Amino acid sequence: MSARVSKHVVSTPSPDDGCPMAHFIYLHGFASSPQSDKVSFLSERLANRGLTLHCPDLNEPDFSTLTVSRMIDQVEMVVGELPPAPVVLFGSSLGAFVALHLAERALRGEGVPPEQLKQLILLAPALEFGTSRTKLGAYGLAHWRETGWLEMTHYAYGDVRRVHYELFADASQYDSFSATNTVPTLIVQGASDDVVNPDMVARFASSRPHVRLVILNDGHQLGASLDRVWSESEVWLGLNSPGS
């Protein structure tokens, strides 16, 4: 599978109006946390540029009652508490789903002002979260709905936690393929991802000229490709330009 280079050209930012003066916010994935390896890696790379990566804990206040709507509200509150400046959202897996739909709300005039949301960087985006196309399968989804709870390993906490079915029910109202925002978006996807279907991601990107898709020979975590994730992000944000 080859990467599609979008028609969008990112302008090189200046100290007055570009990404170096922006707020960088990372939205971690499902059952992850602000202590993930990707957060640490990207925080260090941005810190080398004198930039800060904000990473709210989307598990809070209680993982068991997690919903996409709650996460969107939480991120909008974080943005609202920061000084006015352009915003760049990184999102991983479910965090990428949240970032995309936060951008959709902005387009509708809700939450973050649309002119403030500068760019999105989506890593292995779980664009079909909340649909029947999930690893749980029909039986797993039916069991979750009937019992009300899904027990799962929370990788950040290192133990088994449960999450209410409302997470799935709430997510089902967000249709990624109906998204119409044109926020410049970089997607980095692993070709051997066993959680997010790479063909689905390619299909999403193919009809959106504001999206650049980069396919890497890696899995869902992109753990073997962090240097490439950074180099692609660096170019996309214009941080590799002279004077940045």
Total tally of structural domains belonging to the chain: 1
Domain that holds residue 29: 19-129+180-237
pLDDT, mean over the chain: 90
Q: What is the pLDDT of residue 179?
A: 98
Q: What angle do CA 121, 170, 128 make, to 5 degrees?
A: 45
**Is residue 7 a part of any domain in this protein?**
no
Q: What is the pLDDT of residue 186?
A: 98
**Is residue 142 a part of any domain in this protein?**
no
Q: What is the pLDDT of residue 198?
A: 97
Query: Do residues 188 and 124 touch, judged by C-beta distance below 8 A?
Result: yes
**Is residue 73 a part of any domain in this protein?**
yes
Predicted structure pTM score: 0.91
Q: How far apart are CA 185 and CA 183, in angstroms?
A: 6
Q: What is the pLDDT of residue 138?
A: 83
**Is residue 139 a part of any domain in this protein?**
no
Give residue 11's pLDDT band: very low, low, confident or very high (50, 70, 90): very low
Q: What is the pLDDT of residue 237?
A: 95
**Is residue 190 a part of any domain in this protein?**
yes
**Is residue 136 a part of any domain in this protein?**
no
Give the DSSP per-residue string, 187-215. Answer: EEEETT-SSS-HHHHHHHHHT-TTEEEEE
Q: What is the pLDDT of residue 244?
A: 58
User: Helix 226-237 and helix 37-47: axis angle, to 10°?
Assistant: 50
Q: What angle do CA 176, 66, 84 make, to 5 degrees?
A: 70
Give the whole-number percent of the chain exceeding pLDDT 90.
84
**How confident is the model over 132-173, as pLDDT tens digits?**
777 788 888 999 999 999 999 998 999 999 999 999 999 999
**How confident is the model over 90-112, as pLDDT tens digits?**
999 999 999 999 999 999 999 99
Give residue 121's pLDDT band: very low, low, confident or very high (50, 70, 90): very high
CA-to-CA separations, 133 to 34, 129, 138, 181, 190, in angstroms, rounded:
27, 8, 9, 24, 18
CATH number at residue 195: 3.40.50.1820
**Is residue 61 a part of any domain in this protein?**
yes
Q: What is the pLDDT of residue 2?
A: 36
**Is residue 24 a part of any domain in this protein?**
yes
